[in-house]
Amino acid sequence: MIKFIIFDFYGVLYFTNKDELNPDILKFMDNNNKKYNFGVISAIQSDLAGWLKEKNAQKNFKFIKTTGELGLPKSDPGLYQMVLASYKLKPSEVLLVDDSAENLSAAKQAGLLTLRYTQFRSIEEQIKNL
């Protein structure tokens, strides 16, 4: 059973072409913050936590991490193992939502559940179809 959902930033939580946060995912988190815990991991090299705070979008996240902080790329299963250990999470209870096949493959190798995000269906529908 999924207890924790980790979102990718670019292409999932944030759309660079529109310069906006994904309203579908923000709404999903607001509606499901008692059912799931949420985190975000990004390859962005700036202060992501500060940026999300400025946008008033950090409230539902248990953690906001960058690959720079963690010292590993998202394509390395060790990154996910490190996050699981840091937050005492069981891999079978964690879902990574990403738009990169390479990152999803690494997360699967670490034992996480994975979902390749598409903008064409709501996040809630995609999670229900797992």
Per-residue model confidence (pLDDT) at position 119: 87
Alpha carbon distances (Å) from 5 to 1, 29, 57: 11, 10, 16
Helix pair angle (77-86, 101-109), 10° resolution? 60
Residues in the chain: 130
Residue type, 82: M
Per-residue model confidence (pLDDT) at position 91: 98
* Domains defined along the chain, listed by start: 4-128 (3.40.50.1000)
Per-residue model confidence (pLDDT) at position 3: 97
Tell me the two tokens of residue 16. 């660079």
Positions of the chain with pLDDT under 70: none
